[in-house]
Structures are given as structure tokens and as C-alpha cells.
């Protein structure tokens, strides 16, 4: 397939004219080098994308770059014999919209070492409803299971539960056999969270304690918030339970003591999705396409936009008004 001489991309600049982003025409020669070129079908919007697209966070390490840390599509050219024209692939993280051009483009050139063949059980649209958010939730579950997390320890608390990672985590952990308690400041979204599988929906006051230890309430958790809520979750986690940390929507601080770790053997597990080793990356995607595949992807995808709609999505997300996942149709 021939790639057009120019095509549309959402590009981010930071130069003498200031920080700005928007849709513009680019050519393949404008994009970062790589072994495969794909015709993009879908991307998604993550909090990191909103920070990058608006300049509210220092995400990009060079300029200009095409935004978008996720992309899925079909290969149209490859110099790597592992991929052929027509293959369906996806990439999440791996330097996209940070050190190399990302997925907000009609055609994307990628390093083949990070491209994952779309696993059986997922289509491209489903792959991008999941995207980095679903991969993060799946990676958290994998790490917790590797550290002997079991449903018998008690319910899993998911903070920031109406966000992308949170929504998918509620569904994914439920599919994996855990009871999930969703924690959210959006009390009007209880029906949505229960639809995804949460057995209880709790307000933020469930994690309002400032004491270093509390009575055990949760078997473990996935935290997307950070700060005092993460500290409180650790204080309420059962002996030898795991708390995975995946975000800092409220704070990067951790005002906690070592007491949950040395008295109850609680583990704080880090989840860094961007540079995950390929074998682990493929294992997570295989689970997400099969036994951990969310049952409510259509409900979690609450919005679908074109490249032109991205600035409005960024504003809504940074103002705390988003729910679930936003799909970008290319």
C-alpha cells in the first residue's frame, strides 16, 4: 500500500512562538524512524496525553512531536520480517509522544520491537479502548498475582474508579475473580461502577484516615490517586496483601509510615507501563484478550472523537470531568 505524500496528525510544538498543538499535514519523512509503518485505525486519550497536548506537564522530551501514547492499526510497510503488510498491531507507551512521534496520526512509523501483534480475541477498537489504561490495570493485576494476591485476602479497592485505569480495573479484577470495591468522589456514578462489576461503591471518606494503621478492610488495592488516600489504603490492607500504585491524580507524595510493611507484611507494588519488557507486555495482552477481557468495554468507552476533537477532551480530562475511556477514531 502506498502512503500518501501528506496526511493529518495532531502535532505538538514548543518554540519561539510558544507551546501549541493542533492538526496539521505531515509527511512520512517528518516522523521518527522505525521499521514498520501502520495505517492507524484508533488511538485513545490518557491523562498523560492531556498533559502533553496542553503543556500542563513536562511529557515531551523533544519538539515537535506527534501526540498520542497509544495506537492500533494495520501494517502497510515493514523492513522487519516479523511483520507483514496487513498485520494488525498495537503499541502503548514505549516512548510514543515522549521521545518519538505518537499515535495521533493517520499513518504512524514505529519501532518494531515495541509493536505487539493484536491477540486473537480483540479487535483494533477494543485494543484502544483498553490502550495504556487497560494495560496498566492488567499489569497491576499480574504483578499482584505474582506476589501471591488471592481473592481470599479480601476485596480489592480501586481508587479513582471512574477514570480510564480505574474503570477498566474494576472490570478486569472482577473478571479475574476478585471482589472489587470502587472508591470515587463521583457518588452519582455508582450505577456505572456497579455495572462494571463493583460490589460496593465507596466515597473518598473510606480512605480518609491519617493514622499509620487501621483495622483491615481490604485485601489489596490499585491506587490511581497517590497522597493521603494511598497512605490510608496501605493502613487498611490485610496481612500480605498488595497495593499497586499506578497514578498520582491527587499527589505524588506518600505521607505514610513503614508500619503496614513491617507489621502486616503489606507490599507496595509499582506499576510502570511505558517501558515494560516485551515478554511481560505480550503476556498481559494475551490475558486482556481472553480471561481478563473486560465484559463492559462499550460502557467504558464513553466518548469517541476525531483528531479535531482532542483539545476539548484534554480540557475536560484535566478539569476532572472525564469518565471511562475516550477513543480517537483515525
Indicate if 114 and 138 belong to the same structural domain: no
List, for residues 111-160, the tens digit of each pLDDT value: 999 999 999 999 999 999 999 999 999 999 999 999 999 999 999 999 99
Q: Would you say residue 44 lies in a domain?
A: yes
Q: Are 284 and 176 in contact (CB under 8 A)?
A: no
Final residue of a domain: which of 270, 285, 312?
A: 270
Q: What nine digits make up the cell of 329?
A: 477514531
Residue in the block written with cell 510502570: 272
Same domain, 209 and 310: no
Residue 63 sits in a domain whose CATH number is 3.90.180.10
Write out pLDDT tens, residues 165-177.
999 999 999 999 9
pLDDT of residue 2: 87
Packing angle of the helix pair 164-175, 124-146 (nearest 10 deg) = 70
Report the domain count for the chain. Answer: 2
Assess whether 137 and 82 both reside in one domain.
no
Q: Which residues contact 205 (CB under 8 A, 6 or more apart)?
A: none
Query: Quick one: 15 and 112 in the same domain?
Result: yes
Whether 77 and 187 share a structural domain: no
| Close Cβ partners of 262 (under 8 Å, ≥ 6 residues apart) | none
**Residue 124 in domain:** no
Of 95, 146, 181, the closest CA to residue 287 belongs to 146
Residue 127 placed within a domain: no
How many Cβ atoms from other residues are within 10 Å of residue 306's Cβ? 12
In a domain, 128, yes or no: no
Per residue in 42-56, pLDDT tens? Answer: 999 999 999 999 999
In this prediction the pTM is 0.96
Burial of 79 (0-12, 13-18, 19+ CB in 10 A): exposed
Joined together, the cell numbers standing for residue 124 give 483494533
Residue 275: its pLDDT value, please? 78
Q: What average pLDDT does range 92-100 have in this prediction?
A: 95
Helix (H) / strand (E) element for 183: namely: strand 180-183
Per residue in 195-249, pLDDT (tens digit) is 999 999 999 999 998 899 999 999 999 999 999 999 999 999 999 999 999 998 8
For residue 26, pLDDT beyond 80: yes
The answer to whether residue 228 sits within a structural domain is yes
Show the cell assigned to 67: 501526540
Q: What is the pLDDT of residues 284-320, one digit of tens each?
A: 999 999 999 999 999 999 999 999 999 999 999 999 8
At residue 131, the 3 state secondary structure works out as helix
Question: Quick one: which of 136, 125, 166, 124 has its CA closest to 250?
Answer: 166
Domain that holds residue 244: 133-270
| Collapsed DSSP state (helix, strand, coil) of residue 201 | strand
pLDDT attached to residue 209:
86
How many residues are present in the chain?
330
Report the mean per-residue pLDDT for the chain: 96
Tell me phi and psi for residue 201, to 5 degrees.
-120, 115
What CATH code is carried by the domain that includes residue 174?
A: 3.40.50.720
- Residue 232 grid cell: 490510608
Phi, psi of 155 (to 5 degrees): -65, 155
79: which residues sit within 8 A by CB, 6+ positions away?
35, 36
In a domain, 287, yes or no: no
Tell me what pLDDT residue 210 has: 85
Cell digits of residue 304? 469517541
Does residue 17 surpass a pLDDT of 80?
Answer: yes
Instruction: Indicate if 169 and 244 belong to the same structural domain.
Output: yes
Q: Whose grid coordinates read 515531551?
A: 60
Mean pLDDT, residues 18-31 taken together: 97
- In-domain check, residue 83: yes
Do 240 and 314 belong to one domain? Answer: no
For residues 166 and 76, membership in a common domain is answered with no
Tell me how far apart the alpha carbons of residues 23 and 272 are, in angstroms, rounded to a whole number. 30
Distance between CA atoms of residues 144 and 175, nearest Å:
15
d(CA 24, CA 84): 29
Domain membership of residue 286 (yes or no) is no
Spatial separation of the C-alpha atoms in residues 174 and 53, rounded to whole Å: 33
Amino acid at each position: 500500500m502506498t502512503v500518501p505524500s501528506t496526511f493529518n496528525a495532531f502535532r505538538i510544538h514548543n518554540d519561539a512562538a510558544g507551546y501549541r498543538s493542533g492538526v496539521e499535514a505531515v509527511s512520512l519523512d517528518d516522523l521518527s524512524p522505525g521499521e514498520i509503518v501502520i495505517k492507524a485505525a484508533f488511538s485513545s486519550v490518557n491523562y498523560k496525553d492531556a498533559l502533553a497536548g496542553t503543556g500542563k506537564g513536562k511529557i515531551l522530551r523533544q519538539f515537535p512531536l506527534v501526540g498520542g501514547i497509544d495506537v492500533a492499526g494495520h501494517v502497510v510497510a515493514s523492513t522487519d520480517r516479523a511483520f507483514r503488510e496487513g498485520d494488525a498491531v498495537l503499541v502503548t507507551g514505549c516512548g510514543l509522544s515522549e521521545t518519538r512521534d505518537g499515535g495521533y496520526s493517520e499513518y504512524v512509523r514505529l519501532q518494531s520491537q515495541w509493536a505487539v501483534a493484536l491477540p486473537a480475541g480483540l479487535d483494533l477498537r477494543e485494543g484502544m479502548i483498553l490502550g495504556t489504561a487497560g494495560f496498566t490495570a492488567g499489569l497491576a493485576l499480574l504483578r499482584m498475582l505474582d506476589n501471591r494476591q488471592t481473592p481470599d485476602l479480601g476485596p480489592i479497592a480501586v481508587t479513582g474508579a471512574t477514570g480510564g485505569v480505574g474503570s477498566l480495573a474494576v472490570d478486569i479484577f472482577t473478571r479475574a475473580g476478585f471482589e472489587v470495591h470502587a472508591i470515587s468522589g463521583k457518588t452519582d456514578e455508582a450505577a456505572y461502577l456497579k455495572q462494571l462489576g463493583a460490589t460496593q461503591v465507596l466515597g473518598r471518606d473510606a480512605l480518609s484516615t491519617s493514622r499509620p494503621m487501621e483495622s483491615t478492610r481490604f485485601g489489596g488495592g490499585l491506587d490511581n490517586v497517590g497522597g493521603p488516600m494511598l497512605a490510608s489504603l496501605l493502613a487498611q490492607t490485610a496481612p500480605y496483601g498488595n497495593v499497586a500504585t499506578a497514578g498520582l491524580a491527587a499527589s505524588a507524595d506518600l505521607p505514610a509510615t513503614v508500619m503496614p510493611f513491617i507489621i502486616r507484611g503489606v507490599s507496595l507494588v509499582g506499576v510502570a507501563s511505558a517501558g515494560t519488557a516485551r515478554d511481560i507486555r505480550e503476556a498481559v495482552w494475551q490475558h486482556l484478550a481472553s480471561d481478563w477481557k473486560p465484559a463492559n468495554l462499550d460502557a467504558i468507552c464513553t466518548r469517541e472523537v476525531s483528531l479535531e476533537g482532542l483539545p476539548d477532551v484534554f480540557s475536560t480530562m484535566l478539569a476532572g470531568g472525564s469518565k471511562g475511556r475516550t477513543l480517537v477514531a483515525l
